[in-house]
């Protein structure tokens, strides 16, 4: 349909990003499934969306590379006519006490999480159509301040600050800019390197006493990207089941 909204979702080949892509498609949006390296997984997402009657196309892009990101947006325009929603779910996680962190790991983490978010934000600001929505993924650990998350939280705090400024810079454009900050969410990335006791402890922290599911986060993003979220702008939504 001519008025179909078009979403670009980075990090969409697995985890929260995949859930966001399929949820936006179920809401009727055409989706560009952005991925860094796992082409097979991205194609699976495209096939899942198509099987459910939606429209999707895969696009490889390192979010920190401006030419690759520009090409991903070009693909969205060529395939579907424009860009109305951008969700930056691409990110890296590294856990270590600050005193012990290898600075090469820090640089790699921040290249994706800070530079990558900035590149996506910049391209979004240049390309997104009136009535659009930009959603960045942060983390509730910015507020919870768990040990070992220093480098990761530093990167996501930068994302939140960037988002708040972009929301104000887009004054008059009819574009919303928000961040969603998940709490512990049951993804491959979350389970990696954690023993059962740690997982159980984290699951018990919210008053709802469970881990978040990727769909829980996707539903929040879909709200911000849809008609119901038009009056929410320049905000960080901490989707964590009530952890304080």
Average pLDDT over residues 153-181: 97
Q: Active site includes 149?
A: no
Taking alpha carbons only, the member of 68, 87, 124 closest to residue 9 is 87
For the cut 70, the answer to whether the pLDDT of residue 2 exceeds it is no
> Tell me: the pLDDT tens digits for 51-60?
999 999 999 9
Chain mean pLDDT for the chain: 95
**Domains by residue range for the chain, with CATH:** 6-184+214-235 (3.40.50.720)
Beta carbons of 108 and 31 less than 8 angstroms apart: no
Do 109 and 157 touch, CB atoms closer than 8 A? no
Cα–Cα distance measured from residue 234 to residue 62, given in angstroms and rounded to the nearest whole number: 26
Least confident of 98-102, 139-143, 186-190: 186-190
CA-to-CA distance for 36 and 38, rounded, in angstroms? 6
To the question of pTM greater than 0.75 for the whole model, the response is yes
| Pairwise CA distance, residues 119 & 166, whole Å | 12
DSSP state of 54: -
Q: Are 62 and 70 in contact (CB under 8 A)?
A: no
- Write down the pLDDT at residue 190: 83
Span 148-176, mean pLDDT?
A: 97
Can you read off the two tokens belonging to residue 59?
């696009």
Q: Of 35, 80, 152, 190, which is the active-site residue? A: 152
CA distances from 9 to 14, 20, 57, 199 (A): 11, 8, 11, 28
Q: What is the residue whose two structure tokens read 């990727």?
A: 214
Average pLDDT over residues 17-22: 97
pLDDT value of residue 1 = 43
Question: Tens digit of pLDDT for each residue in 179-236?
Answer: 999 999 988 878 887 889 989 998 999 999 999 999 999 999 999 999 999 999 999 9
């Amino acid at each position: 349909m001519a008025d179909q909204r078009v979403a670009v979702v980075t990090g969409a080949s697995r985890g929260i990003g995949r859930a966001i892509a399929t949820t936006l498609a179920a809401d009727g949006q055409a989706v560009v499934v952005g991925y860094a390296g796992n082409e097979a997984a991205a194609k699976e997402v495209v096939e899942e969306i198509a099987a459910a009657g939606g429209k999707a196309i895969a696009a490889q892009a390192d979010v920190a590379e401006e030419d690759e990101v520009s090409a991903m947006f070009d693909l969205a325009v060529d395939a579907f006519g424009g860009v109305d929603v951008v969700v930056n779910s691409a990110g890296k996680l590294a856990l270590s006490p600050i005193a012990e962190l290898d600075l090469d790991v820090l640089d790699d983490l921040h290249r994706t999480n800070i530079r990558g978010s900035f590149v996506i934000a910049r391209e979004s600001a240049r390309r997104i159509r009136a009535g659009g929505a930009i959603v960045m993924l942060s983390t509730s650990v910015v507020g919870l301040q768990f040990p070992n998350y220093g480098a990761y939280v530093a990167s996501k705090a930068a994302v939140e600050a960037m988002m708040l400024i972009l929301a104000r810079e887009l004054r008059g454009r009819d574009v919303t800019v928000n961040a969603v900050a998940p709490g512990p969410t049951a993804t491959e990335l979350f389970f990696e390197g954690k023993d059962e006791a740690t997982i159980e402890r984290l699951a018990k922290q919210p008053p709802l006493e469970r881990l978040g599911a990727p769909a829980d986060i996707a539903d929040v993003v879909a709200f911000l990207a849809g008609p119901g979220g038009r009056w929410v702008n320049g905000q960080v939504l901490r989707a964590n089941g009530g952890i304080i």
